[in-house]
Amino acid sequence: MKGSAKNHLPVDLTQVGSGAEVRVRSLECAPGTCQRLREMGFCENALVRKIRGGADLVCWVCGTRVALSARLAKQILVEHVDGRS
């Protein structure tokens, strides 16, 4: 199925629509920045729901709303989650 395979390609967090639930696939940043993102909950395999996009993004991660700059969000590679568990 082409559609579902397409949903598993990694994209950066700025490229997903508001309301989308995604899983963090990898972080593409300097080690210090990666560490800080992990401390905020953006660990590999973490589930994230993007609430709002724009110059600053708002996401729901680990039970908390977190705001990120678009520059930082571009360093978080994610994949779409199929359905709900």
What's the pLDDT tens digit per position in 3-49?
A: 444 556 899 999 999 999 999 999 999 999 999 999 999 999 999 99
Of residues 29, 35, 36, the one with CA closest to residue 76: 29
Q: How confident is the model at residue 80 (pLDDT cuts 50, 70, 90)?
A: very high
Enumerate the β-bridge partners of residue 57.
68
Q: Model's pTM, two decimal places?
A: 0.85
What single-letter amino acid sits at 23? Answer: R
Mind listing the domains of the chain with CATH numbers?
Answer: 2-80 (2.30.30.90)
- Give Cα 32 distance to the centre of its chain: 18
Contact 37, 61 (CB under 8 A): no
